[in-house]
Structure 1
Amino acid sequence: MYQEEIAIQADVELLEKLLVQHRYIQAWEQGFEIFKELQVDAAKKCIVHWDIENNVDYIYTLRENIIGVNLTLAADLDPTDQHIPERLESSRTYISNIIPKIKRLAEELYFD
């Protein structure tokens, strides 16, 4: 599993919208062609985007902090996959690019 975390000056409700509404996902995921299934897990308080083609779960977890919200994005790879090194590298690239885009969009909308 690979993960990154970032603090965002916005509220949880706004970030939840950004992570589940298609129009926002298109904005922050621009440049990446990933076909995925979206799952909201209220019990675990997370949102999962399943990358169908690569069988990777991208797990978005939100936690309130003093200035807003901490967003953790983790890539959970299938341990039986024979292509783990390649999948891990592409997951790192995806997460490193997506996290700042989500932060930028959330803060633009929050302060608008």
Structure 2
Amino acid sequence: MPSAAMAIAVAKNVCGMLRGAEKPTHTASMAEMGAACVASTGRHFFRGSAATMTVFPVAPDYEKYPEYGRDLNLTFGEIGLAGHWMKSMLHYTFLYQAKMLPGWWLLPD
């Protein structure tokens, strides 16, 4: 997730500078973005499992969140079947986008 946000910022900066901007105008600070990770195990739709994690912000901010550097309401981990379903959806969404099928650009990164 952070890689996609940084790539988008870089692409927008390159376009802007080709159009005459003096310096980059877009940013993608890891101190302002979150990330999610899904590690799936198994292939069965009802017996699969996955470990899912979210972190916000990616880079710890001890000024804003003094105790742990992260917002604990948005940082958590789970293990179970729902994560397996999420991984399947992400997998097929990625393949749909990679093949540039109709409406691929409307799907979130």
- The TM tier, using the shorter chain, reads under 0.3
Output the TM-score relative to the length of structure 2: 0.27
Larger-gyration structure (1/2):
2
Higher strand share: 1
